[in-house]
Amino acid sequence: MRTDCRYYESRTYPNGDTVRKCDLDLAPEAPWRCPADCAKFERRSDIAWNYGSLTHTAGPDEPPGLDEGAADLLDLAEDILNQAAPRIVAEVEADRAQSRSAGQRLRRWLRSRRRR
């Protein structure tokens, strides 16, 4: 990845996982490389700063065999996830609605028991 690009982002989570990505989603082979001729590349304004011990760590090694087909494979995987997302959201919402209606039935039953 071109870490000197304005749109490069790196974030480390408390569990130690690190995400390296292009904020514009223009690096299909992230976190290993950006397109060589990226039209949106802009040099970072803070690139000449000196960082302390919390500086960016080196990115992961490029896996062996990574070629131009990797971007196509990652795009295909993203398409699959994007197609599955609406169905998953609908299932979760249906489960929540069912839980709410079960909770309402239980509350009505409890209120009726108290009245007796």
Render pLDDT for 87-100 as a digit per residue (tens, 0 to 9): 999 999 998 888 88
Tell me which residue range forms the domain holding 20. Answer: 1-66
Same domain, 10 and 60: yes
pLDDT tens, position by position, 54-86: 545 666 777 777 776 777 888 888 899 999 999
| 34: Cβ contacts below 8 Å, ≥ 6 apart | 1, 2, 5, 8, 22, 26, 27, 41
Same domain, 17 and 4: yes
Q: What are phi and psi of 111, to 5 degrees?
A: -65, -40
Same domain, 60 and 9: yes
Report yes or no on whether pTM surpasses 0.75.
Answer: no
Same domain, 47 and 23: yes
Q: Is 16 left (phi over 0), alpha (psi -120 to 50) or beta?
A: left
Q: What DSSP assignment string belongs to 58-101?
A: PPPPPPTT--HHHHHHHHHHHHHHHHHHHHHHHHHHHHHHHHHH
